[in-house]
Structure 1
């Protein structure tokens, strides 16, 4: 069963606990606000990475990142965007899972038959929100999400 590690809003800080959690992932999805391209290099040493640009990602390295990405894991199609509020409805029309960041609030919920996952933030603490990451487990055309507080 493929395991996809999810993270967002590292804001230049990739915690050792997050790296440990991501080890063993078949793929990694970063939902933006990376803020340091070295983070993508560290993640790529673990598994293939899909990343989108967040509102705090600037510079030539960030300009190469898309605002929205689509990736397929087996029969499961994901749509990745940093700010869910900026997702055009047609962009996620055929996705089973929408992965986003921006709010720093971890959540996994199904709406209208689509699984929406925000892994939260595993970078610097913001307000009293938890430091979190998530995973997707893909089993054929079925997918489930789990959020982990670090």
Structure 2
């Protein structure tokens, strides 16, 4: 199973359309996970052209997206359990807030957004994964999204690109 992970698309404020490099990565995937800050429901409609979409709402999302997705969810894929949250809130770091969202759940991976900073690291027995943003890199050197391949093993990685169009500079 191949899952594309995105967050912080902030469309149409930060981009008018999905970057070409992201669209190329969406072809032939089984699922898309969005960790919040969609900004509009049109992003969901655009993504569902490529694959089924699961997501959570972020701090800039309206009531319609909060009602549709909620703030957190746990998804099970065989023997792998993924916690999905945006990671916004007060005090602590984004990573700590994301971990705290699943303190009482048995998850293997916690996916979060909010900071726009790509993260792939282990905290005790949990993998923390922030895909970064495909449309608003902020302090990161590149735009990015994530991929999770679930098979006999689980492989997580980032895909980085230099501009919103996803073309080489």
| Equivalent residue runs for 1:57-136 within 5 Å | 57-83=61-87, 84=95, 85=97, 87-91=100-104, 93-136=105-148
- Deviating beyond 4 angstroms after TM superposition, the runs of 4 or more aligned structure 1 residues are none
Per the normalisation by structure 1, the TM-score is 0.89
Aligned residues: CA RMSD: 1.7
What residue in structure 2 maps to residue 3 of structure 1?
2
The answer to whether the 8 A contact 1:105-1:129 is kept is no
Count of matched residue positions in the alignment of Structure 1 and Structure 2: 147
The answer to whether the 8 A contact 1:30-1:51 is kept is yes
Cα distance in 1 for residues equivalent to 2:19 and 2:155:
24
Per the normalisation by structure 2, the TM-score is 0.79
Is 1:143 the counterpart of 2:154? The answer is yes
Cα distance in 2 for residues equivalent to 1:128 and 1:139:
30
Q: Which has the larger radius of gyration?
A: 2
